[in-house]
Amino acid sequence: MILLELFFGFLKVGCFAFGGAYGSIALIRDIVLSYGWLDEEMLTYMIAVSESTPGPIMVNLATYVGSSQAGLSGSLIATAAVVLPSFLIILLVTALLKTVLKNPYVQAVLRGLKPCMAGIVLATGFYMILKNGFVLQEQVLSLRPLLLTLLLGAFYFGMRKIRKGGISPILLICLSALAGVVVYGL
């Protein structure tokens, strides 16, 4: 029964997908290939599509695989299954959070986790800008991504100085899509 298989397959993904989207891709790959839902090439293509559409990659992949295997009901079931574990865990954590957070040992651990998290996020942002903005093409720095990076960066951070609060992240994403079409289309 394909629907049942999809449900349990993606429930497994949802339960064990620690450490963000890229950690979960390996897990999804294992499960999707072992059930024989997709071949390697199709999976690579789906990962690329999931990355270039909004929403968490894991959820996008679940929807995509579910839909390709069993249409609308398949995609609904796969998506629900992948979201369910984290939904339940967070409900549980939230209910316990108030008492647990007051514990001095937990607080000591959190004091270490927070700066670590900030460092990780900083590195991720830094790396993404490095990777997407400074592209080498035949050993020459290509101009378009660099131009786009400088333009968008200057605009986003510059607007803070001009207008209180600056521009919203949503506006930046819309503008960047538009700028991408213009800059790369020319």
Positions in 31-60 near another protein (CB under 8 A): 45, 48-60
Q: In this chain, which of 30, 39, 40, 116 binds another protein, going by CB under 8 A?
A: 116
Q: In this chain, which of 3, 29, 35, 180 binds another protein, going by CB under 8 A?
A: 180
Paired strand residues for 140: 137
Count of residues near another protein by CB under 8 A: 93
Q: In this chain, which of 8, 30, 33, 120 binds another protein, going by CB under 8 A?
A: 120
178 touches another protein (CB under 8 A)? yes
94 touches another protein (CB under 8 A)? yes
By beta-carbon proximity to another protein, the closer residue of 32 and 59 is 59
Tokens standing for residue 94:
């939230």
Q: Nearest approach, Cβ of 144 to another protein (angstroms)?
A: 8
Q: Which candidate, 128, 142, 141, 135, places its Cα nearest to that of 51?
A: 128
29 touches another protein (CB under 8 A)? no
Give burial (CB, 10 Å; 0-12/13-18/19+) of 172: middle
Give the Cα separation of 128 and 21 in Å (integer).
Answer: 15
Instruction: Answer for the pair 83, 23: CB distance below 8 angstroms, yes or no.
Output: no
